[in-house]
Amino acid sequence: MSYIVPIGPYHPALEEPVHAKLYTEGEVIKDAEVFVGYNHRGIEKLATERNAIQTLVLVERVCGICSHSHALTYAMAVEAINGIEVPKRGEYIRVITAELERLHSHFLWLGIACHIIGHDSMFMHIWDERELVMDLLEKMTGNRVNYAMVTIGGSRRDISDDLRREILDACVKLKGPLDRIVEIALTDKTIAMRTKGVGVLTKEDALRLGAVGPHARASGVNIDVRRDAPYCSYGDFEFDIPVVDSGDVFARVVVRALECYESIKILQQALENLPATPINLGNKLVKIKEGQVVARHEAPRGQLSHMVVGNNSLTNYRVSIHVPSYKNTPTVPHMLRGNTVADAGLIIASIDPCFSCLDR
């Protein structure tokens, strides 16, 4: 029998509205469509009525998980238009915040993935370790969600030597539990049965559809803005880019778990070599000079782009935000085909979607 099975746009398992329409033969998905854009918030329009400092506050609220990523990318665009050079210490602090945010995001996704497949003990174990990262972010910034660490020309807050040592100690403490999480992820039969061979995205389809971030790297696409177009002093650090070729949900679990090691590696290098320069150029309200710039940042979910157009005034003439979930969502129908309805929720979640980013 043929059925159309709707998931969403409003569903008890979804915090944000999205609609997946599954065309099935019995339990097997023959085709699928995904619809987004149910909750447009007008952030890009609001940015045209605000100055650069106000826009930092605004774009941080595009997403609760990668709020620092949005503020950082917007600031880099304004700094490029205005020819502003950020002090080295300010850049390192931006990197430290970004990599802690990546750890927080990856732990959050890994926990949710385990919860979806019914491995709740693993879910609670991963989120317990995530709390350590959240505590560090709160000590650094005073907040657990919107960190407000970025200003035009640098970072708003410094890191004391005591806090620097505390974060370094936390990096060492995290490695033991992370080793255990990776061991379970790679060997647990429940995880393997629910994820191996499920929701496959080939390298060819990933390239054709423009997938980014861990989602692309799990399909064998070796891309990462931090390495390919270094910014914020990322060129100073040594780190690897985990790439897996199988392209299934299991590969996406492995890539994100391995990326946590690389974030810890970057954090340790940045904290051990924190430059003794100012953290910013002063919290000054700058005019956005005439020009157009696209700034790119490797957010936890993949490449995030902010295009800023200035016309030599205090407000933005135009801000255009291109989020990684926008690039990865077109891959979902391809991954759903040939799988069962029972795996649909896990496959959709495997791209680590952020629908609040999509509905900006």
Best CA proximity match to 200, nearest among 165, 149, 247: 247
C-beta of residue 18 within 8 angstroms of C-beta of residue 34 = yes
- What 8-state DSSP symbol labels residue 51? B
d(CA 286, CA 299): 26
Q: Say how many domains are in the chain.
A: 1
pLDDT number for residue 269: 96
Q: Rounded to whole angstroms, what are the CA distances from 153 to 44, 54, 56, 160?
A: 22, 15, 12, 20
Is the bond preceding 9 in cis, omega lying within 30 degrees of 0?
Answer: yes
Range of the domain at 264: 2-358
**Six-digit token string for 71:** 């503020």
Q: E strand or H helix at 208, and its extent?
A: helix 203-209
Flag the least confident range among 227-241, 248-262, 310-324, 344-358. 344-358
d(CA 5, CA 80): 48
Whether residue 19 has pLDDT greater than 90:
no
Q: Is the dihedral of CA 286, 56, 158, 224 positive or negative?
A: negative
DSSP-assigned beta bridge partners for residue 25: 2, 28
Best CA proximity match to 313, nearest among 56, 64, 82: 82
127: exposed, middle or buried (Cβ count in 10 Å: 0-12, 13-18, 19+): middle
Nearest 10 degrees: CA dihedral of 121, 126, 128, 133?
A: -170
Q: pLDDT, tens digit, for every residue of 85-103?
A: 999 999 999 999 999 999 9
Distance between first and last Cα of the chain: 39
Q: pLDDT, tens digit, for every residue of 52-71?
A: 999 999 999 998 888 999 99
> pLDDT exceeding 70 applies to what percent of the chain?
98
Q: pLDDT, tens digit, for every residue of 34-58?
A: 888 888 888 999 999 999 999 999 9
pTM: 0.94
- What 8-state DSSP symbol labels residue 142? S
Average pLDDT over residues 136-153: 91
pLDDT number for residue 312: 94
Whether residue 15 has pLDDT greater than 80:
no
Whose tokens are 């085909």? That residue is: 337
State the pLDDT confidence band at 13, using cuts at 50, 70 and 90. low
d(CA 231, CA 85): 12
Q: pLDDT, tens digit, for every residue of 279-312?
A: 998 877 889 999 999 999 999 999 999 999 999 9
Tell how strand 19-25 and strand 318-322 pair up: unpaired
Whose tokens are 């995205």? That residue is: 201
**CATH number of the domain that residue 73 is part of:** 1.10.645.10
